[in-house]
Amino acid sequence: MEAVLSHLRGAIERGEYAIGGKLPSEAELCRTLEVSRPVLREALRALQTMGLTVSRTGKGTFVVADAVGDPTFGDYAAGDLLEVRRHVEVPVAGYAARRRTPDDLDRLTRLVDRMERETDTTAWVAMDTLFHLTVAEAARNPVFRRVIEEIRDALARQSAFLNELGGRREQSDREHRAIVRALADGSEHAAVEAMTHHLDRVETTLTALVRPARTPAHDSHQAV
């Protein structure tokens, strides 16, 4: 899927598929690229998330940009989502370290254990969002939980995107485990540090996917 995405993205960026133009049909692309329809559809979804194309029911997929901007996950742009996560989930981790109960720790530990064993991406993504919701619940403030519920769909879409294209799963598992250890220790500082590191790695992976190494150096620091 990554190879298909790279091929189609490159063709769009080189102008082989012009803005306003339509991509070949799924059947034609499957024949040309010698891939299955599920693989192709994953790549097409990624192109749409990156803002390069739009899919119009019954009409096909159309090119709307020749350069990747800020990806959109559900109703929210990646940059907006990350900004809010830093302002909410980092302090939430600190509160959770002070207020978590033994039951909270048990649920989080069992959840991370399951995530480390899970091989299905869809199931793992569901547990990923549940992990962040459970940390918010451990902070004992219903407003925090409501905020995470509001962005839950966007978190799931972002998680799937990063895992399919950025190979983030094992790294995320380690970062989640570090967050749980900090909560178990009751260390507000360690919990804040662990959540900050987790979100830093999310941003780094997004940046690498959206702004590849071939882009000018002065663009590489921009958040996505």
pLDDT in tens, 128-171: 999 999 999 999 999 999 999 999 999 999 998 888 777 889 99
| Residue 215 pLDDT level (bands cut at 50, 70, 90) | very low
Least confident of 52-56, 68-72, 182-186, 190-194: 68-72
Rounded CA-CA distance 170/182 in Å is 19
- Specify whether the CB–CB gap between 58 and 28 falls below 8 A: no
Question: pTM of the entire structure?
Answer: 0.80
In this structure, are strands 72-73 and 60-63 parallel, antiparallel, or unpaired?
A: unpaired
83 has pLDDT over 80: yes
Domain coordinates in residue numbering, the chain: 2-63, 73-210
SS3 201: helix
What backbone torsions phi and psi does residue 54 show, to the nearest 5 degrees? Answer: -130, 145
Give the DSSP H or E segment for 156: helix 152-166
- Specify whether the CB–CB gap between 144 and 88 falls below 8 A: yes
218 has pLDDT over 80: no
> Rounded mean pLDDT of the chain?
91
Q: Which fold has domain 2-63?
A: Arc Repressor Mutant, subunit A (1.10.10)
Domain 73-210 in the same topology as domain 2-63:
no
Q: What is the pLDDT of residues 36-64, one digit of tens each?
A: 999 999 899 889 888 899 999 889 999 99
Which CATH superfamily groups domain 73-210?
GntR ligand-binding domain-like (1.20.120.530)
Instruction: Give me the torsion for CA of 131, 132, 133, 134, rounded to 10°.
Output: 50
